[in-house]
Structure 1
Amino acid sequence: MNGLAQDPTLSDFGQDPWWLILIKVLFAFVFGLVGTLLGVWFERRVVGRMQVRPGPNQAGPFGLLQTLADGLKMAFKEDILPKASDKVVYFFAPTISVICAVTALSVIPFGPMVSIFGTRTPLQVTDVPVAVLVLLACSSMGVYGLVLGGWASGSTYPLLGGLRSTAQVISYEIALGLSVVGVFMTAGTMSTSGIVAAQSGGDRVTSIAGFDLYAPGWYAILLLPSFIIFFIAAVAETNRAPFDLPEAESELVAGYMTEYSSLKFALFMLSEYVAMVTMSAVTVTLFLGGWRAPWPISIWDGANSGWWPMLWFMGKVIALVFVFVWLRGTLPRLRYDQFMRFGWKVLLPINLLWILALGGIRVTSGWERNDRLVAIGIPVAILLAVVIFWPSRRQQPTPTLQEQVDTRPPGSFPLPPMDLQVPPSPRAKRAVAEREPAQVGPATDDKEV
């Protein structure tokens, strides 16, 4: 079952027998399903630890069977169908999200070339020259399940949650796609197996701005801005906190899945956690070296051969899932305008500037050293001069109330005089009269009257 270390190429795919393809497809599906079961348990335990409470600890060892028990209970609950719903779309919407999330796992490399029952094959279902575009397409198509589920429910809160999902994907899908451009430019391919092979590292030197620098294998280090933006956009794509606005309990009850129950509600939960595991696997593939062993494990000659790489891959995925959970237990939900402003006015401009800078570095890589220093130094100097000498915008003092009245345009609605005193209410007069007896004059004797 072991084999020599070898990076798979596109020619290695499409040669497997049908039974081996079936095993790979089944493995990818089971990986997503088991990842969901363990992910829910992992999240509840980690968040419980952060909040100084035990979390699930009764069903099975360490509470491992709690998620399985919850899933079985959810499957046998009463399935409620809203009267105003579109029954066909309402039924199929959760399956769309699950299928898109699981399909993305088909182009994720889990390891190198290995031998399975005497057949040499890559630990990957398939690969195509535009595999990363397949990942982006699956991520974009998954939102259709949320939008259609919210619309087909025939209720206000699910519809608002579905519309929020649409706006969220449009806003952050652009940043997600642009952050991968740096990976394409550096690796020279859009094949996932080729990107992993390009991050081998340790045996090459990269020349940047005329200086020879050791290039670490992981693009998370070499392309740090792209990595940070990609992961932030991935959190938003999966509707995880602090970007869980389509499910905001304080505003939308439960968002797009408010009217769902029983097994269809479980499918929506399954799609969310499968998407979280899938995006973690995509991030590992594009930026964290894929299945390659991290340093110092990579010093061992057999670290990247046989079945060991699958262990390193799983470890990296678990580490990123922990970051997802960490964010949920730490950060509060963003306000909607803050969320949109962050995507359009922060992530998008930074991404474009980074791609421009990276393209300039690659274009000048063949120039002489002095020419490169001049080409890079002049824009940097101009940028610093603009930042230093840009006229500061001092905040104008707030005018007083009298100044605001005096500067009102002609024809405005008339205002009462500023010294106008509001008379006390009759109720206040009666209260004062009850506390202080009225003085009506000198006392008189009833007999004299």
Structure 2
Amino acid sequence: MTKKQTPVPAASRGKMVNSFDPGVLDTLPPAQREMIGKRQRLLGPAYRLFYGHPVEVSRASGVHMYDPEGNDYLDAYNNVVSVGHCHPAVVAATTAQLNTLCTHTRYLHPGILEFAEELLSTFEPAIEHVMFTCTGSEANDLALRIAKHHTGHQGIIITSEAYHGNSDLTSGLSPSLGEYSPLGTWVRRVPAPDSYRLAPEQLGRWFADRVQEQIDDLRRRRQGVAAFIADSLFSSDGVYSHPVDLLAPVAQVVRAAGGLFIADEVQSGFGRSGDRFWGYQRHGLVPDLVTMGKPMGNGFPVAAVAMNPAVIQQFGQDTRYFNTFGGNTVAIAAAQATLRVIKEEGLQKNAQVVGEAIRDGLRALAQKFEGIGDVRGAGMYIGVEMVTDRERKTPDPAAALATVNGLRARRVLISATGPDANVLKIRPPLVFSLADTDRLLTELENVLRN
């Protein structure tokens, strides 16, 4: 520690909303205390657990997870298993492929080509190529490498609480990891488009102007802008879904400066927004690159970058790309099965219908409980802002955390997000039903009432 550094208690470092407090370890059952002790001893200090009292899970199916005693937990948070835990079609496809062949992309095999065609058909005609990785972090890392190579610039513009991954490059543009996770000197931040506190009719121009200011700063420092990258539902910033005229003006000013627009669809894609298959499509633009991850293989590690051919041309000539497990035959089988389930089971429409029912129920609760300041979201990505004062719109992180843990005690799982950790984050698997919605809303009302 240098003389300029101020000592900070270890418990306050490594920012994470809704994390387990080791200070309550003695209150847990002996078996859980032993397991947590082993985690600390074997996995080290960087791992985090959810909830004041951690949840131990032994199996899962659909929208339910089960502890060793067989108690069910309603999963209203897990978007990784986008078509539900252990979906039989995905399990069957991966098992069959694992029993047949598991190898990389340097051999010819038809599966990757069949899936690439299916995936690219969900995009606009300008998006013609797709490259496969294992994780969303890798996908964003690759997209940014391509952007830097294509533009010859280094600067990257993000939103104030963005999360784009945990590689060295992407953690350097993920301020939501906390103040002790350093940002790159080439990174510039713009405020989130806070539709709760700023006039929605002026938000698009305001947002583009903030991006232009950072472009000007990068130019002044002779770095230039390589890319603007955003999650189109602004998940870590607090979940902002409207208005939908925000991103097209940003793309315009970024491209005018020679940069690229990257749509990070890791959290907002694959039908989650309900009204569109990809979140950026709600904003009426076509990105230069689109990144995907978590939900793509329903829990199997597979991710991708889709792109306009023009942005990869020089990169492809000057370098090469290979990823031993990115696009391997089993990963492709999982991704193809997941995509087909989303389409065949009408899960995008389900996200729209059930998501609206959840928001309607939350708005009804807001009529009863003053602590709910705002309900927002699209499809099955919903934010509920908790406040101490509706008129002042003062964030209430204590209420949000108490609500998250109160629901956990009633075996309903959600989390929280936003710079002040005061926004309830509801993000269930796409198979969430109206019956599941009733349980979620009933238990939430019970928590708020108590």
Which bracket does the TM-score occupy, shorter chain normalised? under 0.3
TM-score by length of 2: 0.21
Task: Judging by fraction of residues, say which structure has more strand.
Answer: 2
Structure that is richer in helix per residue: 1
What TM-score, normalized to structure 1? 0.21
